[in-house]
């Protein structure tokens, strides 16, 4: 994220130096370095996020299905198998989203915010405070509002998926 931001920042600074008649050689080198490293770092970030998440998922799935084998069939005979299976698989998939798309982006956003606020404060404390307000709005306030609005429909969809899975499993077995 820093490399992506500094592509624009260094381009603007280089343009300012060029228009004022100064040499922008070091800024041009920074621009090229940031542009090149942006692609590599972005790929590495996604690769590491998903590698960790899928390894955790594999471990969790093995443990959950091992426990289910111990419980079946006597303990699970009276349970709604479709809802149970849908609940387990959707919860495990939610963990993948959590590990791959929540923990790392929060850490990256926090570090990015600290770095950018220190960069902005070199020029103006007012700009740093304005950026902090914008980061808080985009990173905290907006996600909280939309999370609350999507909570009820999400529960309804989950319940309907459980009913579909139950119907399918009962149809296959019966």
Q: Which token pair is 142?
A: 């907006």
Residue linked to tokens 């069939």:
73
83-98: per-residue pLDDT in tens?
666 667 777 777 777 7
pLDDT-above-90 percentage for the chain = 25
d(CA 85, CA 25): 61
Contacts of 56 (CB under 8 A, 6+ apart): 95, 96, 99
Across 122-127, average pLDDT: 94
pLDDT of residue 72: 66
d(CA 26, CA 40): 21
The listed range with the strongest mean pLDDT (56-65, 81-90, 104-113, 122-131) is: 122-131
Give the CA distances from residue 52 to residues 48, 98, 106, in Å, rounded to whole numbers and listed in that order: 6, 11, 16
pLDDT of residue 78: 58
d(CA 104, CA 167): 37
pTM higher than 0.75, yes or no?
Answer: no
Across 126-132, average pLDDT: 95
pLDDT of residue 174: 56
d(CA 174, CA 171): 5
CB atoms near residue 67 (< 10 Å): 11
pLDDT-above-70 percentage for the chain = 87
């Amino acid at each position: 994220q820093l490399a992506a931001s500094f592509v624009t920042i260094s381009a603007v600074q280089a343009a300012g130096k060029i228009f004022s008649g100064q040499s922008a050689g070091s800024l041009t080198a920074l621009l090229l370095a940031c542009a090149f490293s942006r692609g590599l770092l972005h790929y590495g970030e996604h690769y590491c996020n998903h590698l960790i998440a899928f390894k955790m998922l594999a471990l969790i799935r093995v443990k959950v299905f091992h426990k289910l084998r111990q419980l079946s069939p006597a303990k699970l005979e009276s349970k709604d198998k479709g809802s149970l299976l849908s609940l387990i698989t959707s919860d495990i998939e939610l963990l993948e989203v959590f590990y791959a798309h929540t923990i790392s982006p929060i850490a990256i956003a926090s570090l990015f915010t600290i770095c950018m606020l220190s960069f902005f404060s070199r020029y103006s404390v007012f700009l740093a405070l304005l950026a902090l307000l914008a980061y808080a709005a985009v990173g905290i306030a907006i996600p909280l509002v939309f999370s609350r609005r999507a909570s009820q429909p999400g529960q309804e969809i989950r319940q309907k998926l459980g009913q579909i899975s139950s119907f399918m499993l009962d149809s296959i077995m019966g």
